[in-house]
Amino acid sequence: MDKEFFAAALQAREKAYAPYSDFAVGAAVKTAGGKVYTGCNVENASYGLTCCAERNAIFAAIAAGERRFASLCVVADTKEPVAPCGACRQVMREFGIDRVILANCAGKHLAMTVEELLPYSFGPESL
């Protein structure tokens, strides 16, 4: 695994706003040009408004004008590498982020494609 990329996700996790679940998540997304954007989960007293770390990282990159991505790394303090939620898998699919590194804080990780995470998916070409 790319150590710096993992470290960026781990560092982003430190900023998580998760007073309700106490489950902090960090994510980093790398553009095709090699730039890294990060995100953490941000919860809300109106629970359903919570936004995951992965989407916050992707949306930060999009808001900065990025459109082409190489990979995403997500990390949480889990026994096994953390599994991204379904909504985040769909957003990764939207932007063609094919290589996804799932990790835990100890560095245990695995790499998966979005096709593996979200088979037979609906995407931009489906319209």
* Chain positions contacting ligand THU, by CB under 6 A: 18, 21, 23, 25, 41, 43, 50, 52-54, 84-85, 88
Indicate the residue among 64 and 87 with the shorter CB distance to ligand THU: 87
Nearer to ligand THU by Cβ, of 19 and 33: the residue is 19
From 54, 66, 80, 115, the catalytic residue: 54
Closest approach of ligand THU to the CB of residue 31, in Å:
20
Q: Dihedral of CA 26/29/30/36: which sign? A: negative
Minimum Å gap between C-beta 16 and ligand THU is 7
Active-site residue, 54 included: yes
Cβ distance to ligand THU smaller for residue 21 or 113: 21
Q: Which helix (H) or strand (E) holds 28?
A: strand 25-31
What is the distance between the alpha carbons of residues 12 and 27, in angstroms, rounded to a whole number? 7
DSSP secondary structure string for all residues of 59-126: HHHHHTT---EEEEEEEES-SSPPPPPHHHHHHHHHTT--EEEEEETT--EEEEEHHHHSSS---GGG
The nearest distance, CB 127 to ligand THU, in angstroms, is 25
Q: Which residues are catalytic?
A: 54
